C-alpha cells in the first residue's frame, strides 16, 4: 500500500509537470500551423495587391478618358485577364473557406464559464481553424471586392467607347456636294501613294533579306499549289452535292433543295477565305510579310471573308443560274438582277473595309477616309435604289417580290443615307450603309436556315409509314406523335434563329471592333431588376432545358420499360415510381435552366408565395387536383388496373396523371375523374389488396320443391365453375318465404372480381339447366336480383 501510494505521488508530480509542457507544445503547434496557413495565402494577398494597383492606375487613366478607341481597347485588354484571374482565385478559395467553416462547426462552441474544460487538442484545433477562417474570409472578401471594381471599370471603359463612337458617328464635316471635301482628298492622295510605294519598297527589301527572288518564287509557287488544291477540292465537293438534286424540277420545293443550297453556301463561303488564309500563312512561313504588310494582308482576309459569306448566302437563296435550287419564288431575270445588285453592295462594303485598313497602316489623311466612307455609302444607296426599283415590277397583287414593309424600310434607309451625305454626316451615312449590308447577309442566312428546318421537319412529318416508324424508333417516340414533335421542334428552332438574328443585327450598334466587345455585343443583355439575361445565357438555358427533358424522358422510358418490370414490383407501384421520377426530372430541368439565366430560386419562391393568394382563388381546383395527384401516386390507395367505384362510375383505372385519373368503364367508356374527387370522397376499390371478391346468386323456387335438392344443385354449380374458390367453401342460404317462392341465395368467392358478371351469368345458366333436369319448378315472377 505504501509503495502504491508512493507511485501515485510520483505519477501526480510527473503529470503536473507534463500537462503545462503539453499545453505549451500544442499552442506552439497551433501557432505554427496558423503561420503556415498565412504563408500559403501570402502569395494570393500579394497578387491581389498588384491587381488593385493596376485597377487604381486604370481608374486614374479613366478620369480623363483617352480620345482614341485603340487606347480604350488596350485598357480593356489589360483588365479582362485580371477579372478572369480573380474569378479563378475565388473559385479556388471558396471551397477551402466552406470546408474550414464546416470543420470549425463540428468542434462546437467554446465551453461556457464554469463548464468542465475541454481537451487541449480540441482547443488548439479550434484556435487554428478560427484563425484560418479569418484569413480566408479576408482574402475572399478582397477578391470579391476587386471583381466588383473590375466590372465597374469595364463598364466605364465601354461607356467611354460608346460615347466616343457616338461622338465620331455624329461628327459633321464637309458635305459630299462640297468641293472642299474632294480637293482635300485630292491633295492628300499623292502622299498616300508615296507611303504605299514606301511600303512596297520595304516589302521588297524584306524579301531580299530572306532569300530574294528565289524565295519569293518558291512562296508563290506554294501559294499557287494550295489555291489549285483548294479549287479542286471545292469542285469535287460541289459535284457530290449537285449530284443529289438530279430529277428535281424547278419550283417543286423538294425537301433536299434547302440542304443542297446550304451545302453549296458553306463551300462557297469557305473557299476564298481558306485560300487567302493559306496564302498569308505561306508568306509568314517564308518571312515575306513585314509587320505593316501583315496588317494589310489581315485586312484583305477580313474583306474577302465578308464578301464570300455575303455572296454565298445571296447565291444560295436566289440561285440565279439554278432555278431548281432557288428558295424564293422569283423568275430567272429578277433573281439574277437581285443577285447582282446585292453582291455589288456587299463588294463595295468589303472593299471599303480593306481600304480603311490601308489608310490606317499608311497613316492617310482624314480627308481620304471621309471620301472613302462617302463613296461607299453612295454606292450602297445606288444599289439599294436599283434593287427597290427593279423589284416594283412584281406589282401589288404578287407576293413574289419584297413585302411592302421591307420596301418602305429600304426607301427610308436610302433617303437617310443621301440626307446624311448632303448634310456632311459622312460617318453616319457609312455606318447606315454597312448595317444595311450586314442585315442583308444575316437575313439571307436566316432564310436559308429556315428553309432547311422546314425541309427536314416537314419531310419527317410527311414521311411514309415505314420511314415514320424508323424515325420514331430512332428518337424513341410514338409514330403517331412524330408530326407533333416535328412541328414543335421546328417552331422552337425557328424562334431560336430569330433571336440569334436579332442579336446579330442589334449587337453591332456599339461600334467597337475588338473581339471582347464583339462578344459583349453578341451577349447583349436585358436588365430585369437585378438579373441580366444575355443571349449566351438564354442559349445555355434552352440547351440545358432541352437536354434535361430529353434525359428525363430517356430515363423514364428505361425505368418504365426495362428496369421496373424486372424488379418484381406490382404494376401500380411501377407506374407511380416512373411518373414521380418524370415530374422530378421536369422540375429539376426547369430549375437548372432558371439558374443558368441567373434567376435566384429564392426569388422564385418569393414570387410563388406572392402568387399563392391568386392561386388560392383562381387556381384552387387546379392546385387541389395537383396535390391530390401527388397523394395518389405516393400513398397509392388506387393503382393502375384496379376496379373502383367513385361518384357512381365503376370501371378499371387506366391512367393516373398529376391532374386527373382516367377510368375505363365496363361499357368501354372513358371517364375522367379529377384527383380531388378520389381523395376527398368515398371510393370503393374492389382490388386494392387482392383481386378476389364475393358474388351472390339469388334464385326462387316453388313451395313444393325439395330445399335440400335445391341446395345441392346450387353448391354443385358453384363447385363446377373454375373461377369459384374452394376455400372458403360456397354457402347456400334460405333467405325466407316470399309471396310466390322460396328464396335461396348462393354466396361464393371468385378469383377475380373483374369477372363477377360473367361468373354469375355462368352460374345462372348452370342452375337453370339443373333445375329443368331435376324437375324443380320456378315461379313466374322472380324476386329482384341482388347487386354484386
Are 451 and 261 in contact by the 8 Å Cβ rule? The answer is yes
Q: What are the grid coordinates assigned to 495, written together?
A: 424562334
Report the alpha-carbon distance of residue 35 to residue 28 in Å, rounded: 10
Omega before 675 within 30 of 0, i.e. cis: no
Q: What are the grid coordinates assigned to 124, written together?
A: 488548439
Domain that holds residue 703: 693-774
3-class DSSP state of 9: helix
- pLDDT greater than 70 at residue 707: yes
- pLDDT greater than 80 at residue 424: yes
Report the alpha-carbon distance of residue 615 to residue 622 in Å, rounded: 9
Report the alpha-carbon distance of residue 371 to residue 192 in Å, rounded: 14
Radius of gyration of the chain (CA): 43
> Between these two residues, 343 and 641, which has the higher pLDDT value?
343
- The residue written with cell numbers 395527384 in the block is 629
Band the pLDDT of 221: cuts 50, 70, 90: very high
CATH number for the domain that contains residue 747: 3.30.70.100
Which range has highest mean pLDDT (231-240, 493-502, 511-520)? Answer: 231-240
- The residue written with cell numbers 370503393 in the block is 684
- pLDDT greater than 90 at residue 278: yes
Q: Work out the average pLDDT over 677-695.
A: 73
Share of the chain above pLDDT 90, in %: 14
Last-in-domain residue among 409, 431, 462: 462
Band the pLDDT of 548: cuts 50, 70, 90: confident
Band the pLDDT of 13: cuts 50, 70, 90: very low
Q: What are the grid coordinates assigned to 338, written together?
A: 437581285
DSSP state of 662: E
Band the pLDDT of 308: cuts 50, 70, 90: very high
Domain count, the chain: 4
- The residue written with cell numbers 439574277 in the block is 336
Q: What is the pLDDT of residues 549-579, one digit of tens each?
A: 888 888 777 777 777 776 666 665 666 677 7
Which range has highest mean pLDDT (46-50, 99-103, 540-544, 561-565)? Answer: 46-50
Q: Is residue 385 part of a domain?
A: yes
Q: Is residue 479 part of a domain?
A: no
Band the pLDDT of 146: cuts 50, 70, 90: very high
Question: In terms of Cα–Cα distance, which of 271, 417, 446 is closest to 349?
Answer: 417
Report the alpha-carbon distance of residue 623 to residue 608 in Å, rounded: 13
User: If 0-12 CB within 10 Å is exposed, 13-18 middle and 19+ buried, where does residue 503 land?
Assistant: buried
Report the alpha-carbon distance of residue 441 to residue 314 in Å, rounded: 7
- pLDDT greater than 60 at residue 16: no
**Half-sphere CA count of 109, side-chain side, radius 13 A:** 4
Q: Which of 32-46, 190-204, 262-276 has the lowest mean pLDDT?
A: 32-46
Last-in-domain residue among 446, 462, 478: 462
pLDDT score recorded for residue 583: 76
Q: What are the grid coordinates assigned to 125, written together?
A: 484545433
Report the alpha-carbon distance of residue 743 to residue 761 in Å, rounded: 18
Last-in-domain residue among 119, 143, 169: 169
Q: Are residues 195 and 324 in the same domain?
A: yes
Q: Is residue 5 part of a domain?
A: no
Q: Which of 225-229, 394-398, 609-613, 627-631 has the lowest mean pLDDT?
A: 394-398
Tally Cβ neighbours within 10 Å of residue 673: 19
Q: Are residues 361 and 434 in the same domain?
A: yes
Band the pLDDT of 312: cuts 50, 70, 90: very high
pLDDT score recorded for residue 226: 93
Report the alpha-carbon distance of residue 564 to residue 574 in Å, rounded: 6
CA distances from residue 532 to 161, 528, 570 in whole angstroms, order as listed: 21, 6, 49
Based on DSSP, count helices (H) and strands (E) in the chain, helices before strands.
Answer: 21, 10
Q: What is the pLDDT of residues 591-632, one digit of tens each?
A: 888 777 666 655 555 555 555 555 555 556 666 766 776 677
Q: Are residues 335 and 409 in the same domain?
A: yes
DSSP result, 328-389: S---HHHHHHHHHHHHHHHHHHHHHHHHHHHHHHHT--HHHHHHHHHHHHHHHHHHHHHHHH
Sign of CA dihedral 479, 485, 490, 493: negative
- The residue written with cell numbers 358478371 in the block is 757
Question: In terms of Cα–Cα distance, which of 550, 558, 549, 554 is closest to 591?
Answer: 549
Q: Are residues 139 and 213 in the same domain?
A: no
- pLDDT greater than 90 at residue 17: no
Q: Is residue 782 part of a domain?
A: no
Q: Are residues 113 and 261 in the same domain?
A: no
> Between these two residues, 693 and 459, which has the higher pLDDT value?
693
Report the alpha-carbon distance of residue 483 to residue 458 in Å, rounded: 8
DSSP result, 374-440: HHHHHHHHHHHHHHHHHHGGG-TT-SSS--HHHHHHHHHHHHHHHHHHHHT-HHHHHHHHHHHHHHH
- The residue written with cell numbers 397583287 in the block is 397
Q: Are residues 238 and 155 in the same domain?
A: no
Q: Are residues 94 and 58 in the same domain?
A: yes
Name the strand (E) or helix (H) holding 304: helix 291-318
- pLDDT greater than 80 at residue 429: yes
Q: Which of 27-41, 293-307, 552-566, 768-782 has the lowest mean pLDDT?
A: 27-41
Q: Is residue 291 part of a domain?
A: yes
Q: Are residues 21 and 40 in the same domain?
A: yes
Q: What is the pTM of this model?
A: 0.59
Q: Are residues 535 and 681 in the same domain?
A: yes
Q: Is residue 471 part of a domain?
A: no
pLDDT score recorded for residue 213: 85
Q: Work out the average pLDDT over 410-438.
A: 90
3-class DSSP state of 724: strand
Q: Are residues 249 and 356 in the same domain?
A: yes
Q: Is residue 49 part of a domain?
A: yes
Band the pLDDT of 275: cuts 50, 70, 90: very high
Q: Which of 38-42, 179-183, 538-542, 755-759 has the lowest mean pLDDT?
A: 38-42
pLDDT score recorded for residue 331: 78
Q: Which of 264-278, 676-690, 745-759 has the lowest mean pLDDT?
A: 676-690
- pLDDT greater than 90 at residue 4: no
Q: Are residues 145 and 240 in the same domain?
A: no
> Between these two residues, 113 and 317, which has the higher pLDDT value?
317
DSSP state of 538: H
What are the residues whose beta carbons fall under 8 Å from the beta carbon of 771, sequence distance 6 or more?
A: 701, 713, 777, 778
Chain mean pLDDT for the chain:
78
Q: Is residue 573 part of a domain?
A: yes
Band the pLDDT of 516: cuts 50, 70, 90: very low
Q: Are residues 73 and 217 in the same domain?
A: no
pLDDT score recorded for residue 258: 82
- 769 - beta bridge partners? none
Amino acid at each position: 500500500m505504501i509503495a502504491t501510494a508512493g507511485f501515485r505521488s510520483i505519477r501526480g508530480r510527473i503529470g503536473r509537470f507534463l500537462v503545462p509542457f503539453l499545453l505549451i507544445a500544442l499552442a506552439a503547434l497551433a501557432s505554427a500551423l496558423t503561420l503556415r496557413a498565412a504563408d500559403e495565402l501570402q502569395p494570393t494577398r500579394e497578387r491581389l495587391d498588384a491587381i488593385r494597383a493596376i485597377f487604381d492606375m486604370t481608374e486614374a487613366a479613366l478620369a480623363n478618358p483617352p480620345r482614341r478607341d485603340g487606347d480604350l481597347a488596350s485598357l480593356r485588354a489589360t483588365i479582362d485577364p485580371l477579372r478572369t484571374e480573380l474569378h479563378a482565385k475565388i473559385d479556388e478559395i471558396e471551397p477551402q473557406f466552406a470546408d474550414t467553416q464546416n470543420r470549425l462547426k463540428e468542434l462546437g462552441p467554446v465551453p461556457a464559464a464554469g463548464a468542465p474544460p475541454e481537451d487541449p487538442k480540441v482547443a488548439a484545433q479550434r484556435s487554428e481553424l478560427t484563425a484560418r477562417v479569418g484569413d480566408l474570409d479576408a482574402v475572399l472578401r478582397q477578391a470579391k471586392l476587386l471583381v466588383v471594381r473590375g466590372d465597374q471599370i469595364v463598364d466605364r471603359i465601354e461607356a467611354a467607347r460608346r460615347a466616343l463612337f457616338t461622338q465620331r458617328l455624329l461628327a459633321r464635316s464637309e458635305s459630299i456636294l462640297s468641293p472642299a471635301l474632294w480637293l482635300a482628298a485630292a491633295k492628300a492622295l499623292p502622299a498616300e501613294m508615296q507611303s504605299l510605294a514606301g511600303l512596297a519598297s520595304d516589302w521588297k527589301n524584306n524579301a531580299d533579306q530572306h532569300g530574294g527572288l528565289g524565295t519569293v518564287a518558291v512562296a508563290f509557287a506554294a501559294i499557287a499549289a494550295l489555291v489549285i488544291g483548294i479549287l479542286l477540292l471545292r469542285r469535287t465537293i460541289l459535284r457530290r452535292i449537285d449530284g443529289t438534286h438530279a430529277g428535281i424540277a424547278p419550283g417543286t420545293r423538294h425537301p433536299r433543295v434547302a440542304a443542297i443550297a446550304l451545302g453549296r453556301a458553306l463551300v462557297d463561303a469557305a473557299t476564298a477565305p481558306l485560300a487567302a488564309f493559306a496564302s498569308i500563312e505561306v508568306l509568314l512561313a517564308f518571312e515575306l510579310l513585314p509587320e505593316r504588310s501583315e496588317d494589310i494582308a489581315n485586312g484583305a482576309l477580313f474583306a474577302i471573308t465578308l464578301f464570300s459569306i455575303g455572296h454565298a448566302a445571296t447565291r444560295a437563296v436566289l440561285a440565279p443560274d439554278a432555278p431548281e435550287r432557288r428558295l424564293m419564288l422569283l423568275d430567272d431575270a429578277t433573281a439574277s438582277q437581285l443577285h447582282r445588285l446585292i453582291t455589288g453592295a456587299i463588294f463595295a462594303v468589303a472593299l471599303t473595309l480593306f481600304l480603311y485598313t490601308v489608310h490606317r497602316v499608311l497613316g492617310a489623311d482624314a480627308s481620304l477616309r471621309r471620301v472613302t466612307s462617302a463613296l461607299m455609302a453612295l454606292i450602297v444607296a445606288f444599289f439599294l435604289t436599283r434593287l427597290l426599283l427593279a423589284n416594283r415590277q412584281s406589282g401589288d397583287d404578287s407576293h413574289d417580290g419584297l413585302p411592302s414593309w421591307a420596301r418602305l424600310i429600304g426607301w427610308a434607309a436610302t433617303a437617310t443615307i443621301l440626307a446624311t451625305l448632303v448634310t456632311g454626316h459622312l460617318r453616319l451615312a457609312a455606318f447606315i450603309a454597312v448595317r444595311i449590308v450586314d442585315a442583308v447577309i444575316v437575313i439571307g442566312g436566316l432564310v436559308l436556315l429556315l428553309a432547311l428546318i422546314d425541309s427536314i421537319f416537314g419531310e419527317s412529318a410527311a414521311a411514309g409509314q415505314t420511314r415514320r416508324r424508323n424515325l420514331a424508333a430512332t428518337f424513341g417516340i410514338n409514330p403517331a406523335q412524330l408530326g407533333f414533335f416535328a412541328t414543335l421542334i421546328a417552331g422552337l428552332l425557328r424562334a431560336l434563329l430569330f433571336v440569334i438574328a436579332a442579336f446579330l443585327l442589334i449587337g453591332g450598334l456599339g461600334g467597337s471592333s475588338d473581339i471582347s466587345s464583339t462578344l459583349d455585343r453578341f451577349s447583349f443583355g436585358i436588365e430585369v431588376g437585378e438579373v441580366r439575361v444575355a443571349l449566351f445565357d438564354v442559349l445555355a438555358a434552352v440547351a440545358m432545358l432541352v437536354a434535361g427533358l430529353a434525359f428525363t424522358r430517356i430515363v423514364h422510358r428505361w425505368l418504365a420499360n426495362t428496369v421496373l418490370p424486372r424488379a418484381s414490383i406490382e404494376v401500380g407501384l411501377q407506374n407511380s415510381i416512373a411518373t414521380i421520377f418524370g415530374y422530378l426530372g421536369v422540375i429539376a430541368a426547369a430549375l437548372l435552366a432558371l439558374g443558368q439565366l441567373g434567376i435566384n430560386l429564392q426569388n422564385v419562391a418569393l414570387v410563388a408565395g406572392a402568387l399563392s393568394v391568386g392561386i388560392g382563388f383562381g387556381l384552387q381546383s387546379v392546385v387541389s387536383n395537383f396535390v391530390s395527384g401527388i397523394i395518389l401516386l405516393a400513398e397509392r390507395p388506387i393503382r393502375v388496373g384496379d376496379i373502383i367505384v367513385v361518384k357512381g362510375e365503376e370501371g378499371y383505372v387506366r391512367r393516373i396523371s398529376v391532374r386527373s385519373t382516367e377510368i375505363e368503364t365496363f361499357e368501354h367508356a372513358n371517364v375522367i375523374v379529377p384527383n380531388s374527387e378520389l381523395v376527398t370522397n368515398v371510393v370503393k376499390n374492389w382490388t386494392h389488396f387482392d383481386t378476389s371478391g364475393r358474388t351472390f346468386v339469388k334464385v326462387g323456387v316453388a313451395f313444393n320443391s325439395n330445399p335440400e335438392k335445391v341446395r345441392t344443385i346450387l353448391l354443385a354449380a358453384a363447385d363446377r365453375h373454375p373461377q369459384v374458390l374452394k376455400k372458403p367453401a360456397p354457402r347456400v342460404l334460405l333467405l325466407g318465404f316470399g309471396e310466390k317462392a322460396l328464396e335461396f341465395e348462393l354466396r361464393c368467392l371468385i378469383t377475380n372480381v373483374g369477372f363477377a358478371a360473367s361468373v354469375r351469368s355462368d352460374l345462372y345458366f348452370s342452375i337453370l339447366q339443373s333445375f329443368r333436369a331435376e324437375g324443380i319448378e320456378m315461379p313466374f315472377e322472380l324476386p329482384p336480383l341482388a347487386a354484386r
